[in-house]
Structure 1
């Protein structure tokens, strides 16, 4: 009942709110953490691209308070964001942070590792995410951070995870079971989900979208993404899903913003190819159904081009 009420309040449309403004001026965080379920919190980032104003906090930084320490999900986009999240954790509990879990290898998931490593905290990531971070995403993300965040990038360096896993890692902290999962190929290499089975909460990362348009990268297998979502994520039966970006919500809402979008784009691009269309024309397939999603202007045409390249020779 508490979870249902929380979701109803969280999903209600805000009255005259400006979603681009900083919701927590006293902190470098875009917004303060909210309790998603008992003992599970998330600082919900902006659903716009990273900017100086949001300091790169445009993804969700979550944590679980157990009887034997705190597990953090996402290192954050910078030293200062990780430090600010730690300050919020300390307001809620005296328990030490014992583990950080990176949800993928992108800069906003791992660049804050530099802060957590300096605190002596263990950092866990999927082996493919760790490789992507060191090979390309880390250096590219750090360069971008220094450009847009300016002084808020200070102290941030590239620090890899201290541990990696392949398929799953089960962790028990006090009386809390935490399942760290790689359900399969989806949005980016080493996508990681954190499942709390006793509370029916899934911190899903970037396999799941609702408010923000899913970005599709070169090399992303969108048909694999759909299959992983439908055959591995949905059967978990999560009551609350914390996506990588945007407010915690339910499975139906996540399904609409993720696999329904991907299937619709597949259908539009498939028809375009069948009609003899080329890449230039693919950018203009009708995606108006999804115009309500944040980052539509930045991502829709690019997504169409990537999916065209993926489907062209199927």
Structure 2
């Protein structure tokens, strides 16, 4: 079966299969947390599909991590360059990394030359233990590497708590290489820029930019099908600045976000930048009216209630933004 074309809505539909897929993908049910494992023959939540030529992504669940998805709730992407494969994200456990490697071997005989961690979170780095055993170099931003080194064992224990026996073989293995601003890779048919654009969702967030293809593998810079999470150390004002001053300037045609299906800039702008601006506006209004933290949790976020993980994250996000903005 040929790979699905996620961008069918933006070019003439050439086959009924693509039309049907687009209809399903655009419905609320597609992003539901309640749909079953899409790839029961593998520990992966979904089978990798080719988004643009030679770039494949296994799209994770939009639900929180759990044993049902083995922690595969982010996107695991790989690029077949012609001279080797570059993998973006180590995966949430060693078994997920191995499962992704099995899928890579079905596509190409080229060896994996590099793994890139999009940040210091578990679903980006815990699978490093598998890749390190294969002798593959692992790249991350220096801040992400520092974060994982400091908290890796706590992250591992949390993953063991939900993954149980699926955590087998997973160890804390930090990146082998780090960078600060920009890391350039010229391999085979691809020129690739690994970019730290500035503060965003978490420490050391990076985006992988393919300028000749107009594709950004955005990592957690960009969300659209699920509500973005805000942490106690997330600086939402700085995230907006990074978006406006750096990320937007890429002028990407295609976006593979950290979570959710490949899309375009209009969609991720709507549910990332615009959501952050909206929530900060609601909290600013609440603060100006003398509102308390207890009440801040309940500011109106109804325009975004259709997003997956809304119930888990909306009130938490409001609380974190209140604390951030209280003394701005």
TM-score bin, normalised by smaller chain: over 0.9
Counterpart of 2:114 in structure 1 is 99
**Alpha carbons 2:118, 2:205 under 8 Å: kept:** yes
Distance in 2, Cα, partners of 1:290 & 1:3: 23
Match of residue 197 from structure 1:
211
The Cα of 1:7 is off from its aligned counterpart by 5.8
State the 1:19 CA deviation.
4.7
Aligned to 1:67: 82
| Cα displacement (A) at 1:240 | 0.7
2:161 equivalent to 1:158: no
Q: How many residues align?
A: 312
CA contact (8 A) 1:3 1:240 kept: no
How far has the Cα of 1:275 moved from its partner? 0.4
After TM superposition, which residue ranges in structure 1, 4 or more long, deviate above 4 angstroms? 6-11, 14-19
Conserved 8 A contact 1:11-1:249: no
In the superposition, relative to structure 1, how do residues 64 and 299 fare at CA in structure 2: closer, same or farther (>3 Å)? same
Match of 1:188 in 2: 202
TM-score of the pair, normalised by structure 1: 0.96
Residue 121 (str. 1) matches residue 124 (str. 2): no
1:5 and 2:31 aligned: no
Q: TM-score, normalised by structure 2?
A: 0.92
Distance 2:273 2:44 in 1: 30
Give the secondary structure class of the aligned counterpart of 2:256: strand
Alpha-carbon distance between aligned partners in 2 of 1:272 and 1:176, rounded to the nearest angstrom: 48
1:179 partner SS:
strand
Q: For the Cα contact (< 8 Å) 2:118–2:124, is it kept in 1?
A: yes
Classify the secondary structure of the residue corresponding to 1:54.
coil
* Partner residue of 2:246 out of 226, 232, 235: 232
Distance 2:206 2:305 in 1: 28
| Matching residue of 1:306 | 320
Question: Displacement of 1:246 after TM fit?
Answer: 0.3
What secondary structure does 1:100 align onto? strand
Shift of 1:13: 3.5
* Superposed displacement of residue 235, structure 1: 1.1
| Contact 2:8/2:22, CA 8 A, preserved across alignment | no
Residues 73, 259 of structure 2: 8 Å contact kept: yes
User: How far is 1:11 from its partner?
Assistant: 5.5
Q: Is 1:48 the counterpart of 2:93 in the alignment? A: no
Paired residue secondary structure (2:280): helix
Q: Indicate yes or no: 2:319 matched with 1:290.
A: no
Distance 1:11 1:292, change over 3 A: farther
Q: Map of 1:130-279 to 2, 5 A cutoff?
A: 130-136=145-151, 138-279=152-293
What is the RMSD of the two structures over their aligned residues, measured on CA atoms? Answer: 1.5
Mind listing any 5+ residue stretches in structure 1 that lack a counterpart?
none
**Unaligned stretches of 5+ in structure 2?**
12-17
> 1-side partners of 2:94 and 2:283: how far apart?
41
